[in-house]
């Protein structure tokens, strides 16, 4: 019987099965169903085994939607999605979410007056946002919060992510092909779509150094991104696979470790790890605070990754979401700057995206990772790397780097890529 069913019928049956499974769990545990109403949970409170079920549901509902609208309409709709970013840009720029109390219903005219925006422009942009569940229009002419717009108030870092994306990332996209044509094959961080969109002569990082407000927004946007479940520290702890005392290093150097939150997490979970030294630029670590529960085991050191590594003979050197900011030529420099410090058997542990090959991931996840890859191109002339590209990167840096493993927990976007430094094979 199953063999004679159409594809959409098969998908619908799977959706029913998995929806029932999730709904039964929520009902049994007296948990609220998903909702866009104010006060709804920002995420479904699911145990780990049901996260996989939700992923399957998202994959199936997305595929069913795409099949039902048909190839032609699907294609043309792809070109229409930019307009919601205009609405989001308006909402962020005028801080509209904070101008509406969570418990009030207010007219468009009143919101326009509070934000000092033309009411006709505001109404048409917010009505597009409402069509995407951002705010709600309970009756013609009045607006109130939805669970989505409420997130902009409850999670200030999310608001900064929206601002960064609308003000820095999105404007760069339309200059991507211009940058490729102007600087073909370039790996320079200053020859990017971001530079063209800002009519600048420097790359994103240099540009932010001269703009305190945008620099703060970028930093807080990255904090929001790293707080997402896909970047949870628990994934890292599992994927390190330090299951024996022999596997746990005595000295760990966290290169580009910013505020030391990752280092502190690792120290808390591995009491036998004697010390973690967090390295970053002086301005970054200037305000860092050492948590009392890790004491002197956590230390900070000013260091530029484009200079030689000053900590000689550590057991492991750790880089999280660092090398993807740089094209291969620069990433190779960073790795080569470690070499004089490495003792035989030292580990270089990279915690980054490792992009699977085609047709491996569900379309939703593939869209996310491929989108990140393009953002890296537009912003830095860099990229997210596949397994083959990681292997080649280390080989070019030095053939004495030998890949040991690549591990990625279910639900994680970041892999743990462990590379060992071996003795000179020619000796």
CA distances from 323 to 67, 269, 384, 417 (A): 38, 25, 9, 12
How many Å apart are CA 75 and CA 116, to the nearest integer?
Answer: 37
Q: What's the CA angle centered on 321, arms 155 and 193, to 5 degrees?
A: 85
How many Å apart are CA 250 and CA 187, to the nearest integer?
Answer: 37
Which residues make beta-bridge pairs with 144?
136
Instruction: Give me the catalytic one of 18, 145, 175, 324.
Output: 324
Known catalytic residue at 92: no
Q: What's the CA angle centered on 133, arms 130 and 137, to 5 degrees?
A: 45
Please write down the HEC assignment for all residues of 316-365. Answer: EEEEECCHHHCCHHHHHHHHHCCHHHCCCCCEEEEEECEECCCCCCCHHH
Q: Is the dihedral of CA 313, 302, 214, 202 positive or negative?
A: negative
Q: Please check whether residue 37 is in contact with residue 9, taking contact to mean a CB–CB distance below 8 angstroms.
A: no
Write out the catalytic residue numbers: 324
């Amino acid at each position: 019987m199953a063999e004679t069913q159409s594809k959409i019928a098969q998908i619908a049956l799977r959706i029913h099965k998995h929806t029932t499974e999730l709904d039964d769990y929520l009902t049994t545990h007296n948990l609220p169903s998903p909702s866009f109403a104010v006060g709804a949970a920002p995420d479904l409170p699911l145990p780990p085994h049901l996260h996989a079920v939700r992923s399957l549901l998202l994959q199936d509902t997305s595929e069913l939607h795409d099949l039902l609208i048909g190839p032609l309409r699907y294609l043309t709709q792809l070109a229409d999605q930019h307009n919601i970013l205009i609405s989001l840009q308006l909402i962020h720029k005028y801080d509209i979410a904070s101008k509406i109390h969570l418990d009030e219903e207010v007219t468009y005219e009143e919101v326009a007056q509070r934000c000092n925006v033309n009411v006709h422009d505001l109404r048409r942009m917010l009505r597009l946002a409402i069509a995407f569940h951002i705010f709600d229009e309970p009756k013609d002419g009045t607006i109130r919060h939805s669970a989505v717009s409420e997130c902009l108030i409850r999670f200030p870092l999310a608001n900064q992510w929206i601002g960064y994306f609308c003000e820095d990332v999105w404007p760069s996209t339309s200059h991507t092909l211009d940058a490729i044509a102007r600087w073909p094959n370039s790996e320079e961080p200053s020859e990017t779509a971001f530079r063209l969109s800002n009519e600048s002569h420097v790359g994103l990082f240099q540009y932010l150094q001269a703009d305190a407000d945008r620099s703060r927004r970028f930093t807080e946007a990255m904090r929001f991104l790293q707080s997402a479940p896909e970047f949870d520290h628990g994934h890292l702890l599992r994927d390190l696979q330090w299951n024996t005392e022999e596997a746990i290093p005595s000295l760990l150097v966290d290169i580009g470790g910013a505020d030391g939150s990752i280092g502190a997490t690792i120290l808390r979970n591995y009491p036998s790890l004697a010390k973690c030294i967090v390295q970053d630029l002086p301005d970054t670590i200037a305000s860092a605070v050492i948590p009392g529960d890790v004491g002197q085991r956590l230390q900070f050191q000013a260091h530029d990754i484009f200079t030689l590594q000053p900590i000689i003979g550590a057991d492991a050197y750790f880089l999280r979401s660092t090398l993807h900011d740089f094209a291969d030529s620069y990433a190779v420099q960073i790795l080569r700057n470690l070499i004089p410090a490495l003792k035989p058997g030292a580990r270089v542990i990279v915690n980054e995206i490792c992009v699977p090959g085609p047709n491996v991931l569900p379309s939703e996840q593939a869209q996310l990772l491929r989108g990140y890859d393009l953002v890296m191109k537009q912003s830095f002339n860099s990229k997210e790397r596949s397994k083959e590209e990681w292997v080649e990167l280390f080989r070019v840096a030095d053939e004495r780097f030998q890949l040991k493993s690549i591990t990625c927990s279910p639900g994680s976007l970041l892999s743990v890529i462990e590379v060992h430094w071996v003795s000179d094979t020619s000796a």
